[in-house]
Amino acid sequence: METSSGRRCRPGGRLDMSHGFVRHIRRNQLARDAYERAVRQARGRARGRHTAAPPRPRRPDQPVYRARRSGVPPGDSSSGSPPPPPHPPRGARLFCLDYEGDDGNVTSVIVHQGDSAEEVTRRVCALSPLEPALRSALCQRVQDEICKRQGAR
């Protein structure tokens, strides 16, 4: 069958694929698909190799606050030591006395209603030894604080 322009057409209107142009396009498409598949597999393997590092502390220079249990002097919070024997029942808590020595150590003693200034001073000196002049000054200061707190109640 010939058309008016002189070209020959196949029956059914199909394209003539006898030339190699379409084969080159198909070969390029297959090569591109194979390349993309290889790249995806390489990325998948790269992600699988990553192992998570153990978490590091955010601010190692920041001290962590740990609340002290009542009745335990500072520095005695080790878990290996037996707990201290319970104290006999006392009156209400008046205040907590914190004494900082020359070495920077802080001694904390809870003062209850009914405690004497001499008894509180003895407990502080048992944990942080003081000279006699400082001991009498501490005793006077504790007595003043006890009187002030008991008068407010």
For the question of whether the overall pTM of this predicted structure is more than 0.75, the answer is no
pLDDT in tens, 52-102: 666 665 665 667 677 777 665 555 545 555 555 565 667 788 889 888 888
In a domain, 2, yes or no: no
Q: What is the dihedral of CA 140, 144, 146, 150, to 10 degrees?
A: 150
Query: Cα separation of 149 and 34, whole Å?
Result: 86
Number of structural domains found in the chain? 1
Question: The domain containing residue 112 runs over which residues?
Answer: 93-152
In a domain, 136, yes or no: yes
In a domain, 107, yes or no: yes
Please give the pLDDT value at position 73.
57
CB-based contact 130:103 (threshold 8 Å): no
CA 58, 61, 67, 68 torsion: positive or negative? Answer: positive
In a domain, 20, yes or no: no
In a domain, 105, yes or no: yes
Please give the pLDDT value at position 9.
59
In a domain, 66, yes or no: no
Query: Cα separation of 96 and 98, whole Å?
Result: 6
In a domain, 114, yes or no: yes
In a domain, 25, yes or no: no
> What is the DSSP code (8-state) at residue 104?
S
CB-based contact 93:103 (threshold 8 Å): no
The CATH number assigned to the domain holding 109 equals 3.10.20
CB-based contact 110:98 (threshold 8 Å): no
Q: Give the mean model confidence (pLDDT) for residues 97-121.
A: 88
